[in-house]
Structure 1
Amino acid sequence: MLRPRVIPCLLVRDKGLVKTVKFKDSKYIGDPLNAVKIFNEKEVDELVVLDIDASVAGREPDYALIKKMAMECRMPFCYGGGISSVEQARKIIGLGVEKIAISSAAVQNPDLIRQIADEIGSQSVVVVLDVKKRLLSGRYDVWINNGRKNTGKCLLDMCKELQRQGVGEIVVNSIDYDGVMKGYNFDVIEKIYPDVTVPLTVLGGAGTIDDVGSLIRRFGVVGAAAGSLFLFKGVYKAVLINYPTFVERDALLEKYLSS
């Protein structure tokens, strides 16, 4: 039986673990390898690691760091950042990574998804769509380059095109909710949910485990991804890596899926 996934999402900049707010004001958190080790102990469902500067800087993925993280990971591991070719995707999968995540390159050239899916399998191809809402029309546009450039492309149209190209999973990341910790953006998911037939993961805004539960109650079997929720504790956001136990997750699912 399929069940919702609860997924920590780690951001990497200059080999360090950071956290942003609305894609700005990055705060250094620590060593990403140490975070991976702790999440191993907490037996997380899956781990996503995104190098947030690689594509903007036009540089190759950091294969040495990826290899170290993949060797350390004891959970399904998805890596994104700087991937723009079939060869890069193949090389990363060869390092022991289960999924690769693409953002800017996929939005600019959706055909790339088909090429990579043909090489490594659709199940290993994830596209992360960073989105903002237009104030007047209410439409969500897809942004690239770390939220710096509006492509003008409609989120719903982009999702449909990616599915035609064979994407295995879509992650929708709400830029204005990033790091705010006031709950997920349900509005954006409602606009695309009926038309997305591949696994869908939601990122941006979770501040409590009940936010995760509310997402699951509303949309069922989706991926609930979060950064700040699993990195900070308390009103002063002290750095403390945390994650619900198996018992807590089962209780969460039972509570919200049955309500």
Structure 2
Amino acid sequence: MLRSRITPCLLVHNKGLVKTVNFKDPKYVGDPINAVKIFNEKEVDELIVLDIDASVEGRGPDFELIKNLAVECRMPFCYGGGVTTASEAKKIINLGAEKVALSTTAIYNFDMIKEIGKAVGIQSVVVVLDVKRTGIIKNYEIFTHNGKKATGIKLKDFIKKLNEIGVGEIIINSIDRDGKMEGFDFAMIDLVRENTDMPMTVLGGAGSLEDIKSVISKYKIIGVSAGSLFVFKGKYKAVLISYPGKQEKKELYQINS
């Protein structure tokens, strides 16, 4: 049975864990493996790990990192970055990841989604869409290459295209809200919800547990992901990995009962 999930999102840049603001100025915040060890202790629902260098550099997945993550992870994790073929996706799953995330490949080689789905099971395929508001409200465009390349594709249109094949999950990442910790873009979430019933996770904007609670309260069964909220502490953003405790999670998820 599907339920809401609260998912830390780790961005890997130059093999280190970083955080960005509006997809710019990556700030080093630690070692990915050490972060995973801490999240293990905090019993997180699931982990998203995105290599933000791979597509920009035109290289494939970092299989050594994936292997090391899988050895340490005691929770399901999704890995994305540089996946362009079904064989790469299959290797990622065989190394121990539960899900494979596609972004640039999903946009520019749409048929590969189906090929990868055949190789690993469509339920293990996640499509990550980095979007930015352009013009009027609810007009969102998809960007690739760390938000640097405009595709000219509207979020609504691509969601409808994805509906034709179905995927295990879609992750909608707001470039406008990334790292600002000022709350989620509800207009963006509404747009996606109005056009699909596929499982979805929203990312970009979480600044407090109340922000997460507001999303779960409104949309019920949904994934809520965050980066800065779980790695920064206080107004000066000291690096301190955190995650809701058992009682806090219980209070958040009771909304769905």
Instruction: Settle same-fold status: TM greater than 0.5.
Output: yes
1:248 paired to 2:244: no
Aligned residue in 2 for 1:129: 129
Q: How far apart are the structure 1 equivalents of 2:151 and 2:226? A: 25
Native 8 Å contact 1:77 1:98 kept in 2: yes
Gaps of 5+ in 2: none
1:67-116 deviation per Cα after TM superposition (whole angstroms, max 9, x unaligned): 00011000001000000111110111110110010101101121111111
Structure 1 residue 137 displacement after superposition? 6.5
Instruction: Give 1:74's aligned residue.
Output: 74
- 1:106 alignment partner in structure 2: 106
TM-score by length of 2: 0.97
- Following the alignment from structure 2 to structure 1, what is the Cα–Cα distance between the partners of residues 140 and 72? 37
Equivalent position amino acid for 1:112 in 2: M
Determine whether 1:94 maps to 2:97: no
Q: Distance in 1 between matches of 2:137 and 2:42?
A: 43
Alignment of 1:47-196 (within 5 A): 47-136=47-136, 138-196=138-196
- Give the match's secondary structure for 2:10: strand
Matches of 2:4 and 2:256, distance apart in 1: 10
Distance in 1 (CA, whole Å) between partners of 2:211 and 2:169 is 22
What SS does the aligned partner of 2:12 have? Answer: strand
Paired letter, 1:89: A
Q: Distance in 2 between matches of 1:193 and 1:175?
A: 19
Moved over 6 A (4+): none
Shift of the alpha carbon at 1:119?
1.0
SS in 2 for 1:176: coil
Q: What residue in structure 1 maps to residue 203 of structure 2?
A: 203
Distance in 1 (alpha carbons) for counterparts of 2:14 and 2:157 = 34
Give the whole-Å Cα distance in 2 for the aligned partners of 1:96 and 1:108: 27
* Deviation at residue 138 of structure 1 after TM alignment: 4.2
**Which amino acid in the other structure matches residue 43 of structure 2?**
E
Mean Cα deviation higher: 134-143 or 225-234: 134-143
Moved more, 245-254 or 80-89: 245-254
Counterpart-to-counterpart distance in 2, 1:70 and 1:157: 35
Partners of 2:16 and 2:246 lie apart in 1 by 29
Note the aligned Cα RMSD (angstroms): 1.2
The match for 2:226 is 226
Q: Is the 8 A contact 2:177 2:184 kept in 1?
A: yes
Give distance in 2, aligned partners of 1:42 and 1:110: 37
Identity %: 57
Tell me, in whole angstroms, the C-alpha distance in 2 between the residues paired with 1:112 and 1:194: 26
Q: Distance in 1 between matches of 2:136 and 2:174?
A: 17
Q: SS of the residue aligned with 2:176? A: helix
Give the superposition deviation at 1:154. 1.1
Alignment partner of 1:177: what SS? coil
Where 2:171 maps in the other structure, the secondary structure is strand
**More displaced 10-residue stretch of structure 1: 40-49 or 159-168:** 159-168
Q: CA deviation at 1:257?
A: 4.0
CA contact (8 A) 1:114 1:166 kept: no
Query: What CA distance in whole angstroms lies between the structure 2 residues aligned with 1:236 and 1:153?
Result: 37
Q: Deviations over 1:135-175 (max 9, x none)?
A: 24641111111100110111111112123223110000000
- Aligned partners of 1:145, 1:200: CA distance in 2, in Å? 21
Secondary structure, in 3 states, of the residue corresponding to 1:10? strand
Matches of 2:203 and 2:188 in 1, distance apart?
11
Cα distance in 2 for residues equivalent to 1:136 and 1:77: 36
Task: Return the TM-score normalized by structure 1.
Answer: 0.96
Is the contact between residue 138 and residue 188 of structure 2 (CA under 8 Å) also seen in structure 1? no
Which residue does the alignment assign to 2:2?
2
Q: Any residues of structure 2 matched to 1:23-42 within 5 Å, and which?
A: 23-42=23-42
Q: CA deviation at 1:134?
A: 1.2
Q: Which consecutive residues of structure 1, in runs of 5 or more, have no partner in the other structure?
A: none
